[in-house]
Amino acid sequence: MIDLRSDTVTRPSAAMLSAMMAAETGDDVYGDDPTVNALEAKAAALSGKEAALFLPTGTQANLVALLCHCQRGEEYIVGQLAHNYKYEAGGAAVLGSIQPQPILAAKDGTLPLDVVEQFIKPDDFHFAMTRLLSLENTHNGKVLPLAYLQEAWAFTRSHKLALHVDGARIFNAAVALGVTLRDLTQYCDTLTICLSKGLGTPVGSLLCGSKDYIERAKRWRKMTGGAMRQSGILAAAGLYALEHNVTRLQDDHDNAAWLAAQLKAAGVQVSSQNTNMVFVRLPAHQAEPLKAWMRGKGIVLHTGAVTRLVTHLDVDRPALEKVVAEWKAFLASQPD
Ligand SMILES: *Cc1c(COP(=O)(O)O)cnc(C)c1O
């Protein structure tokens, strides 16, 4: 199967599985799992934060992050299409009584700071208290510019807001810019990282922040059911991924650029390509037949008004050559 729906579909490699099999474990609720402790220490060091916490999913890591930043009746400013507003089942509102204040992102994925400023509520009992600005990097594959991160940092300092980055794919941003993770994360208070996207682990996310913040996060992780026992088996996959699967993200970006160019040359309307994602517009009548055609050839696509194709470590260049060849064959089979 060649699966281009998401970079979440990656499966652990033989080498990652053997690292997992060899992991030393303990009960992490007692703080006794050496492999989890090593992963958290590594994440803290890489992000330049004092501490880090291992959680089962990015959704839970973002929820715990919001619960730590905002009390009941407080709010966070976030993008309309951000994962931790739109795609996490309203968890912050449902479970934390935290009010989201969504705003539209600019074309480049940034939240314009002059717009953010207009939505910061004055300290008046009519309003929820604005506590946090939440950014997403990458957003739909778009890398937030370093200069913007710096401005957002200064902006939040002067408005007494905390700054959280949903960095599910932040390593894609670091690799695309040719900078270290720290170069990006120096401009936020807290961040989440997904290990189970392009980094290729089966499970796991990290929340990074100050020591005090991560201590508070441990209570919320426990309450939301995310404190695990011999989770060193999963953390070993994370350590393996941070060691072996970061710099290779460039291959995914190069493959996405190649795929975009090939499809464009074949007459497909490619609307954009950012890091490891290609977005194409299909004529409405083609969406379902293309999906079925590709399925028949062992290629899985999630087609719609906008079709997102995601490259990752389980699709190499020959696999993409097959995708392009089958796409062309499909187009040739269509009546004019
Ligand atoms: C995938 C993703 C998450 C977390 O997803 P999980 O499936 O819960 O791990 C969070 N934010 C963004 C931007 C994501 O793409």
pLDDT in tens, 129-173: 999 999 999 999 999 999 999 999 999 999 999 999 999 999 999
Q: Whose CA is nearest to atom 6 of ligand 1?
A: 58
**Under CATH, which number does the domain 248-333 receive?**
3.90.1150.10
Of 6, 59, 134, the residue with max ligand 1 atoms within 8 A of its CB, to mutate for a pocket test, comes to 59
CA of 60 to the centre of ligand 1 (A): 9
Expressed in angstroms and rounded, the spacing between residue 194 Cα and the centre of ligand 1 is: 7
CA distances (Å), 329 to each of 261, 283, 325, 334, in order? Answer: 17, 16, 6, 9
Q: Is residue 336 scored above 80 in pLDDT? A: no
Which atom of ligand 1 is least distant from the CA of 205?
9
Distances (CA, A) of 177 to 88, 165, 253: 28, 17, 12
The CATH number of 7-244 is 3.40.640.10
Which atom of ligand 1 approaches the CA of 62 most closely?
Answer: 10
**Index of the ligand 1 atom closest to the CA of residue 82:** 13
Ligand 1 centroid, distance to 335 Cα (angstroms): 40
Instruction: Give the Å distances, CA to CA, from 225 to 43, 55, 221, 251.
Output: 22, 10, 6, 36
pTM, two decimal places: 0.97
User: Quick one: pLDDT at residue 112?
Assistant: 98
Whole-number pLDDT of residue 335: 83
Quick one: pLDDT band at residue 103, thresholds 50, 70, 90?
very high
Range(s) within the chain of domains with CATH label 3.40.640.10: 7-244
Helix axes 14-21, 232-244, angle to 10 degrees: 140
First-last CA distance in the chain:
30
Q: Which residue has the tokens 């290729």?
A: 200
Q: Residue 209's CB: how many other CB atoms inside 10 A?
A: 28
Residue pair 57/231 in contact (Cβ under 8 Å)? The answer is: no
Banded pLDDT at 231 (limits 50, 70, 90): very high
Say how many Å lie between the CA of residue 332 and the centre of ligand 1. 37
Among protein residues, the one with the nearest Cα to ligand 1's atom 5 is 58
Shortest-distance Cα residue to atom 14 of ligand 1: 168
> Within the chain, which residue ranges are assigned CATH 3.90.1150.10?
248-333
Q: List the structure tokens of 55.
A: 């959680």
Q: How many residues does the chain have?
A: 336
What is the per-residue pLDDT for 240? Answer: 98
The alpha carbon of 7 and the centre of ligand 1 are apart by a number of angstroms equal to 11
Q: How many A from CA of 252 to the centre of ligand 1?
A: 18
Q: What is the mean pLDDT of residues 1-10?
A: 98
Which pLDDT does position 17 carry in this prediction? 98
